[in-house]
A and B are shown apart, each in its own frame.
Chain A
Amino acid sequence: MDPVMRMQGVSVSFDGREVIGGMDMTLPVGEITCLMGPSGCGKTTALKLASGLLKPDKGRIELLGKVIGPETQEDELVEVRKELGVVFQGGALFDSLSVGQNIAFPLKYCREIEDPESISKMVLDMLEHVELEDVRDKYPAMLSGGMRKRVAIARSLVHSPSLLLLDEPTTGLDPVTARHIDQLVVDLCGEFGFTALVVTHDIVSALGIGDTLLLMHEGRIAWRGIPVEWERSDHPMVKSFAQGMVSVGRTGGEKM
């Protein structure tokens, strides 16, 4: 089966600085792929490329059968984008709309459903999945960080996208809420069979939910494998990233 998204030799520069350089990445159907790496290594840029929000300066991206290259025009991507569900780092919920209206948004504009009863039923159903039935009429500003993330996940899934892209879904959340979000992603992807790309620097999260792990370093994929291989890997980048995460906790513990 063809992968949902395939990047080949993709490069992107901002202000003369190469942020992504010759990147190759494939998202197999029905799998959760976790893209890890330290801050500033180009993870979010890679996600924006995978979602067609950015065009590559070099190379090509096959996204749901549509080829995206440097010359691709914005209006050529309209239909393919309707098949995506994107969860942005801060949620990107529309401030002026209630939670219910936010979740209804892709139903109206991606699936062009006009019947208010059908929309209401689907919104309630999705709110039940993320265990937020009682916040439908609240506004994003009235929700906690974890609730906003769950609403953003609900909004990204309600129109049954072919590819789910999550940018740092657990960043800024306490460990309990972060694991709750991880479980939600695994459950929903399992239930609906979504293909997902999760961008994160949270190793615990990636090892918990990822079928495939990718480690980015300076705009390139430095390592790829499955969670078991990660734990056994002697790759210097893997060790450096994993130890960097652990040593911070150990130092703090010793001081206590």
Chain B
Amino acid sequence: MNLLSWIGRQAIELFSTLGFFFIVGLKAFTGIFSGTWSREDLFEQLERVGVGSVLVVSITSAFTGMVLAVQTLDQFVRFGATGYIGGVIALSMVREMSPVLTGLVVSGRIGAAMAAEIGSMKVTEQIDALRTFGLDPHVFVGVPRLLAGLVMLPVLTLFSFVIGITGGFLYVAAHGVNAHLFRRSVEALLAPSDIYGGLLKAAVFGVLIVVSACGQGFMAGQGARGVGTATTKAVVWGNMLILVFNYVLSSLLFGGIKG
């Protein structure tokens, strides 16, 4: 009975949290066109999400591209498929690694910061203060962050494509693979639809990160502990949603057997 009630409580919490995220996201989306929000805050958020994440995304992507090359080079040489290695690294980066890793990195870095900031605003009554000025906090706080996530995640992911593929190329080039062969392989295997698919995933991940961060911030309990818990939950929820939606989007965009 205790186990059943525990499962019931967890299920209720899961669906109520998802429902609140949906409401926060919906209000922010509709608020883009009809609500009151600050343009200055948008530029600040674009800078925080985008420029502030470039270094960490670059390092993560470069080393991921190199590890992909480390894991595949020997196998491809053994099977005489060296001519495909560039394309396989590029496909892996563009379809999966870049969007997912960029999402996870930004979720840890920006999702946590957003949840902590909004949670602190709630605890110190700044959210109530916004309401007394006739503003909807979900719109005023949410819209600039949502737009920043929506715009900057694809930009960072595009950046990650280039850095990751370059990292992979540097490793295989150091082990004797011809640059021309690498480039031809990339051109042969990588289609524009792969790039669009990767960027679409990144945009969705940007929305998920912001919605879970803002949602947890608005739900933060009282005091430092409440803010700390909200911050942790924002990262956990952000990462879980990214991985679940990655499967769904990968299945829809790239799934099945294409002749």
Decide if A109 is an interface residue (CB 8 Å cutoff): yes
Interface size in chain B (residues, C-beta < 8 A): 15
Partner among B126, B128, B134 whose Cβ is within 8 Å of the Cβ of A78:
B134
Residue pair B125, A92 in contact (C-beta under 8 Å): yes
Residues of B contacting A96 in the complex (Cβ-Cβ under 8 angstroms): 44
User: Nearest-CB distance from A112 to chain B (Å)?
Assistant: 9
Decide if A230 is an interface residue (CB 8 Å cutoff): no
User: Nearest-CB distance from B120 to chain A (Å)?
Assistant: 8
Decide if B92 is an interface residue (CB 8 Å cutoff): no
Partner among B44, B126, B134, B136 whose Cβ is within 8 Å of the Cβ of A92:
B126
Decide if B132 is an interface residue (CB 8 Å cutoff): yes
Residue pair B132, A51 in contact (C-beta under 8 Å): yes
- One digit per residue, 1 when the CB lies within 8 angstroms of any chain A CB and 0 when it does not, for chain B 61-99 equals 000000000000000000000000000000000000000
Decide if A146 is an interface residue (CB 8 Å cutoff): no
Closest chain A residue to B123, Cβ basis:
A90
Decide if A106 is an interface residue (CB 8 Å cutoff): yes
Decide if A88 is an interface residue (CB 8 Å cutoff): yes
Residues of B contacting A51 in the complex (Cβ-Cβ under 8 angstroms): 132
Partner among A88, A95, A109 whose Cβ is within 8 Å of the Cβ of B133:
A109
Decide if A53 is an interface residue (CB 8 Å cutoff): yes
Residue pair B36, A88 in contact (C-beta under 8 Å): no
Residues of B contacting A95 in the complex (Cβ-Cβ under 8 angstroms): 120-121, 124, 126
- One digit per residue, 1 when the CB lies within 8 angstroms of any chain B CB and 0 when it does not, for chain A 64-92 equals 00000000001100110110101011101
User: Nearest-CB distance from B210 to chain A (Å)?
Assistant: 17
User: Nearest-CB distance from B259 to chain A (Å)?
Assistant: 54
Decide if A25 is an interface residue (CB 8 Å cutoff): no
In whole angstroms, what is the CA distance A96 to B48 when docked? 13
In whole angstroms, what is the CA distance A92 to B122 when docked? 9
Residue pair A90, B125 in contact (C-beta under 8 Å): yes
Decide if B129 is an interface residue (CB 8 Å cutoff): yes
CB interface residues, B 128-142, toward A, < 8 Å: 128-129, 131-136
Partner among A48, A79, A89, A93 whose Cβ is within 8 Å of the Cβ of B134:
A79
- One digit per residue, 1 when the CB lies within 8 angstroms of any chain A CB and 0 when it does not, for chain B 237-258 equals 0000000000000000000000
Partner among B44, B128, B133 whose Cβ is within 8 Å of the Cβ of A105:
B133
Residue pair B135, A94 in contact (C-beta under 8 Å): no
The CB with the most chain B CB atoms within 10 A, among A48, A51, A96, is that of: A96
CB interface residues, B 197-253, toward A, < 8 Å: none
Residues of B contacting A41 in the complex (Cβ-Cβ under 8 angstroms): none
Decide if A110 is an interface residue (CB 8 Å cutoff): yes
In whole angstroms, what is the CA distance A69 to B26 when docked? 26
Residue pair B128, A110 in contact (C-beta under 8 Å): no
Residue pair A89, B129 in contact (C-beta under 8 Å): no
Residues of A contacting B125 in the complex (Cβ-Cβ under 8 angstroms): 88-90, 92
User: Nearest-CB distance from A72 to chain B (Å)?
Assistant: 14
Closest chain B residue to A106, Cβ basis:
B133
- One digit per residue, 1 when the CB lies within 8 angstroms of any chain B CB and 0 when it does not, for chain A 103-139 equals 0011001100000000000000000000000000000
Residue pair B133, A53 in contact (C-beta under 8 Å): no
In whole angstroms, what is the CA distance A109 to B102 when docked? 36
User: Nearest-CB distance from A94 to chain B (Å)?
Assistant: 6
- Supplied contacts A81-B134, A82-B133, 15 more A-B pairs, CB within 8 Å: A48-B128, A51-B132, A78-B136, A81-B131, A82-B134, A88-B125, A88-B129, A90-B124, A92-B124, A92-B126, A94-B126, A109-B133, A109-B134, A109-B135, A110-B133
Closest 4 CB pairs of A and B: A92-B125, A92-B129, A82-B134, A88-B125
28 chain-A/chain-B pairs, Cβ below 8 angstroms: A51-B132, A53-B128, A53-B131, A78-B134, A81-B131, A81-B132, A82-B133, A82-B134, A86-B129, A86-B132, A88-B125, A88-B128, A90-B125, A92-B124, A92-B126, A92-B128, A94-B121, A94-B129, A95-B120, A95-B124, A95-B126, A96-B44, A106-B133, A109-B36, A109-B133, A109-B134, A110-B133, A110-B134
Q: Which residues of B contact A (CB under 8 A)?
A: 36, 44, 120-121, 124-126, 128-129, 131-136
Q: Which residues of A contact B (CB under 8 A)?
A: 48, 51, 53, 74-75, 78-79, 81-82, 84, 86, 88-90, 92-96, 105-106, 109-110
